Amino acid sequence: MLMITEALLYAATLPLTGKPHRKFIRYSVNLWSRAGRCAADWAEHEEMSRKAILAATAGLKQKRTAVVLGSGLLRDVPIEVLARDFDTVVLVDLVHLASARLWLSAKFYRNVRLIERDLSGYDDLAAGREPEPLGFLRNVPYLDFVVSANLLSQIGRGVKRRHEAEAGRMPEDTVERLVSAHLTGLSGLPCRSCLVTDIAYAVIDRNGKTHEVADLLHGVLPPPAKAAWTWPVAPLGEESKDYRIEHKVMAAW
């Protein structure tokens, strides 16, 4: 039954997605499926993400336009509060699943806008230009708040995969440069910003022994964290009956 639901979601999202981004629909559907299976294990992470975003908006004198980078499934974004408090909310991602679009329509959020965009900066770097993946935000009028919502490590992951597939074509430090460009773009905004990102992962067996750890930001230092927590991305049984995968998450604003 789940496979049928996934196929239907894929089919419904396909015509709503621009051709350059259709190859990413499968990843989004897989994430949607895992989020459903792991709902109980992910609940705290999603709640902590929403709380961090709301804390970052506290005390804003004006709440005209908010932009959510990496809006994804909307589970880790306090969309109800943002849509209520801001005049306009712009959701930016590679893919907006049909399920998310339907949910937004059902809520009658007339002030929510969807934008499809590659936020990695990879194409700029490939063309020999200095990457400014968040440069487009300069054209957003009345911008008062921007959040990067559990996106940065996904940029790093996607860029690393693409960089390895196109070996020799791109600079050796491509991944690091693009992770850094995102952080620089966020910190350089003329408005309040919030970063929520996973920064490391660990593979842990059922006895609690750690077998593998990795830096998800590839050596690039994030700003000092105001909040931090653990996200059980793959609990026991999700990828293996013998191990689980945990991510370390931080928020800064």
Per-residue pLDDT tens digits for 226-244: 999 999 999 999 999 999 9
Structural domains in the chain (count): 1
Query: Looking at the predicted structure, is the pLDDT value of residue 137 above 80?
Result: yes
pTM of the model: 0.95
Reading the block at residue 2, the tokens are 């789940």
d(CA 16, CA 95): 9
Query: Looking at the predicted structure, is the pLDDT value of residue 62 above 80?
Result: yes
Query: Looking at the predicted structure, is the pLDDT value of residue 167 above 90?
Result: no
DSSP code per residue over 98-136: HHHHHHHHHTT-TTEEEEE---S-HHHHHTTSPP-TTGG
Q: Which domain holds residue 180?
A: 2-252
pLDDT, position 166: 82
Reading the block at residue 39, the tokens are 């709902």
Query: Which neighbouring-strand residues pair with 93?
Result: 116
Query: Looking at the predicted structure, is the pLDDT value of residue 168 above 80?
Result: no
pLDDT, position 170: 86
d(CA 72, CA 76): 9
Cβ-contact 170, 121 below 8 angstroms: no
Query: Looking at the predicted structure, is the pLDDT value of residue 2 above 90?
Result: no
pLDDT, position 86: 98
Rg (CA), the chain: 18
Reading the block at residue 206, the tokens are 């059922």
Residue 164: band (very low, low, confident or very high) from pLDDT cuts 50, 70, 90? confident
pLDDT, position 134: 98
pLDDT, position 29: 96
Query: Which neighbouring-strand residues pair with 143?
Result: 65
pLDDT, position 3: 84
Q: What is the CATH number of the domain that holds 157?
A: 3.40.50
Q: Is 101 buried (19+), middle (13-18) or exposed (0-12) by CB count in 10 A?
A: middle
- Provide φ and ψ at 152, rounded to 5°: -60, -45
Q: What is the mean pLDDT of the chain?
A: 95
Q: For residues 5-28, give the mean pLDDT.
A: 95
Q: For residues 49-67, give the mean pLDDT.
A: 97
Query: Looking at the predicted structure, is the pLDDT value of residue 169 above 90?
Result: no
CB contact set of 142 (below 8 Å; sequence gap of 6+): 62, 64, 65, 87, 88
